[in-house]
Structure 1
Amino acid sequence: MTVEKVERAVEALFAAYRRLRGREQQRGDDPSGAQLRALDSLYDSAANTTTGATARQLADFADVTPATMTGLLDALEVKGIIRRERGITDRRTVNIVLTDRGQEVVTAARARWRERWDNALGDVPAEDLQATVRTLAKITQIFDDM
């Protein structure tokens, strides 16, 4: 295995991810990948706090601009998946909170993703998966250092 083959595999991975994002934009009802990343963050933060998160925090987590996140949240709010609440101690702050329906959406999405990953990688030995994680961490560092 050469470094060039790894480069080509990473390029193929990025291309597949771009195709996935394109398909997400064509589906009207399901939350997009960026919306799911934000919802996932909200779901996890709900275990630690009852105040939710700000749009800025969610934008950072989902790796989108705050303006983009605002649009994504508008769509989720219309669907009844999130709600916006004023901060208790600082009324200028607007926190984003998952609704019960939002929690159901995240739970179902996590189950679908887990099933896909388990089906695709369930037969891969643990040592190979650990090596993959180490290699992906190095590749991530390459991009972060650029």
Structure 2
Amino acid sequence: MNEKDYLLELDIDNLLESMACQEKIHFAPSYVCNKLGINDSEKVANYLLSLVPKKLVPLFEVECPEGDSDFRVENPNSLPLEEPRVCHHCGIEYVPDPNRIWLAFNFADHYIKSVKKNNVPKTPSCAKFARPLALL
């Protein structure tokens, strides 16, 4: 791993710790990219996936043709492809498309407990950083 990748992962870890302290839930790789000011969402998504199940729980959300997140599946490979659905947001009937699945994350309960336990004497938000976020 090169130094730039190492620093990116360190920044992501620090951000995740801060988010866990603030009880942030349901976030996408794009949220992490925006918070860190970087554009490589694929690299961020791959790193976040590498943190499952140690820190994160993946969420796979099926998008309706109108662009709404309609429902979640545990495994994107088990998507019910032949069952028409009615989107609970917009009411359109559609058949789920395996190419229209969003990836999001929640924190694993044990990770939140660990972060809060390790940061109790710190600031009220329990956010601490090993170093300032790198300017990437």
Q: TM-score, normalised by structure 1?
A: 0.42
Q: Which has the higher contact order (CA 8 A, sep 6+)?
A: 2
Where is the helix percentage greater, Structure 1 or Structure 2? 1
**Structure number with larger C-alpha Rg:** 1
Where is the strand percentage greater, Structure 1 or Structure 2? 2
Q: TM-score, normalised by structure 2?
A: 0.45
